[in-house]
Amino acid sequence: MVVMRHMMVVVIALLCWLVSIESAFSAVDVTVDRSPIHLNESFSLTFRADQDVDVDPDFSVLNDYFEIINQSRRSNIQITNGSMSRAIIWTISLMPKKAGSFMIPPILFDTEYSSALRLEVLPAQKAKSGKGGEEIFVTVQADPEKPYVQSQVLYTVRLFRRVELAEASLNEPEIDGTQAVVQKLGDDHTFNTSIGNRNYRVTERKYVIFPQKSGKLSIAPMQFKGRVVTNRRASMFDPFGRSGSIHRVMSDPIELDVQPIPMVLQGQPWLPANVLKLTAHWPGGAGAKQPRFQVGEPVTRTITVQAEGLTAAQLPALMPDLPDGLKGFPDQPVLEDRPSASGITGIRQEKIAIIPAQAGSITLPAMALSWWNLQTNQLETTEIPAEVIEVIPAVNQPQTAMVQPVQPPQQIILPNQDKPTETPEDQKVITKEINTPGYWPYVALICALGWVLSLYLLWHQRRYKTGPVKPRAKAIGTIDKKALIQAEARLKEACRGQQARELKEALLVWGQAFWPEDPPLSLGALSMRTGEPLTQALQSLGAALYSGQAGDSNWQGEKVWEAISSMKKSRSEKSGGKKDGLAPLYPGE
């Protein structure tokens, strides 16, 4: 037990160390809390670095056009689906010195530069009639005032005050008549401004409104209610001087003229957006080269649509039409709504496992998406161009399959025809590919320690446990073939990319698909259940990592896939004979 505690301490220490280095190659993003900005109004810049920065950056370059009021730094740690990420965030409060168009230049954060950002500073606001001399007032603004149905309207509410308030409340937008979807956009922002030589503290709140019907849409006045706090002692029952009168103020109402869908798009998908992007990429991220295609082997293609001014729920499904010779198995789509100062950007991402059924040249057809550009007020089409893929035969497949000759079956002579001809699904081999390991060795070290810990606990249990050892669970014959194919696609992608963390998760997902009623919970349990040659591949991995030689070429990701393929072929050959505790990968074939 002492050994186990020491190993747990080492694992926890290495986890903390990995959090600080796993994002060492990310850029630094910069965002502004709102737009536009007026002279005599303070605003905030936020810099986010997905890596450790030992020293604070030099923000003095901002002094030429802005006054730095305050700056702060904080750390943010997130755990999503078992993956940890850490970010360092700097928030800088600024006051512009003059109006104009300014460029926030890239700022050095240790070894990375931040992104450049352009800011527009408008002249100071003038006092409005009947509002300039008041202590508290509320303003509202809708942009645009003539939106299209189901398009985004940015609704901005600002509370101006020159006094201290308590027990403050502001109602939500109330819409009469035409139905609409209303959503609050991010957190409130507070800044200072000057109107008519009077200084105000301003709290800004934003909403996005999506009208669902054309016609007139009325937004009722926003109502603020709060108590004005005084500094003097009002009575013996108010020793801290917190009494004061209650104020109630209301904004002006707003009426929107919602436009119908243009006639040119009647009966077609309606996607009104400011910007829309449609992209596709292969394993390895944007810009990755086309992978090798082989009959029966799955390859994952990721298709993403990103639209400014639409929610992810408004975006259509992205399943392309595949030609004959290709089969597609889509995964669950990933939906994300990303808020910003200008509204919501909806993102929909879909991963499709593509499996070739025949060798030769196959063309993936182009994929187009039509949308309405709100900036140019016209119909546009975004397209993923067609792409030709070259599919090689499965291992030991006759070369005649490439030309597809028409001959009687009895005239085809196959080599080594002592045993029944194997189908393409049974004939799979992986050609070795050398990939740059990247930062996976650091993460793989934790996986190796967890694997060694699992073996130690298993050895300790078998040595000291009294009574007979229960036999291991038998394999389940009913397997979800679709889930197994998707798990194989993910496993193959992790092996090729030398992604140790993804490899561990993919192995466990593969084990869960293979044994749905009794899945292995660790790599050690998986190793004990599968046997050779996968056990040897995992042991080689553990030995290389535990000895500190994580980059040793004696082990690479494709060796795990090679072991899986070899085991799969062996099980298929034995499926008609004596069973040894492991069901065939594709029951019923």
List per-residue pLDDT tens for the chain, 589 residues long.
444 554 554 444 444 444 333 333 346 888 888 777 877 677 888 888 877 776 778 888 898 888 888 888 888 777 765 666 678 888 888 888 888 888 888 888 877 888 888 888 888 765 444 455 688 999 999 999 999 999 999 999 999 999 888 888 999 999 875 589 999 998 999 999 988 788 999 999 999 999 999 999 999 999 998 888 876 544 444 544 455 677 888 999 999 999 999 988 877 789 999 999 999 999 887 778 889 899 989 999 999 999 999 999 999 998 888 999 999 999 999 999 999 888 999 999 999 999 999 999 999 999 999 999 999 999 999 999 999 999 999 876 554 444 344 344 444 344 444 444 444 444 443 334 444 455 556 666 777 777 777 777 776 666 554 444 343 433 444 566 777 787 788 778 777 777 666 777 777 787 777 777 777 776 667 777 776 777 777 666 655 545 444 454 455 677 777 777 777 777 666 555 444 333 333 333 3
Count Cα atoms within 13 angstroms, Cβ side, for 136.
Answer: 20
3-state secondary structure 133-177: CCCEEEEEEEECCCCECCCCEEEEEEEEECCCEEEEEECCCCEEE
* CB-neighbour burial class of residue 187 (10 A; exposed 0-12, middle 13-18, buried 19+): exposed
The CATH number of 2-122 is 2.60.40
Tokens of 586: 């594709």
571: left (phi over 0), alpha (psi -120 to 50) or beta: alpha
What's the one-letter identity of residue 39?
L
205-241 burial code (b ≥16 CB/10 A, e <16): bbbbbbbeebeebebeebebebbbeeeeeeeeeeeee
Residue type, 44: S
The partner residues of 275 in beta bridges, in order of sequence, read 308
Cβ–Cβ < 8 Å for 207, 173: yes
- Asked whether 469 and 20 are in contact (CB, 8 A), the reply is no
Listed as own residue / partner, the contacts of 559-563 with beta carbons closer than 8 Å and 24 or more positions apart are 560/491, 560/495, 560/503, 560/507, 560/534, 561/430, 561/491, 561/492, 561/495, 561/496, 562/430, 562/537, 563/533, 563/534, 563/536, 563/537
- Per CATH, 2-122 and 136-260 having the same topology is answered yes
Enumerate the domain spans of the chain.
2-122, 136-260, 270-392, 440-463+475-574
Enumerate the β-bridge partners of residue 193.
Answer: 200
For residues 148 and 204, what is the distance between their CA atoms, to the nearest angstrom?
25
Structure tokens, 175: 């819409």
Residue with tokens 């004939």: 427
Class of domain 136-260: mainly beta
Q: Which fold has domain 270-392?
A: Immunoglobulin-like (2.60.40)
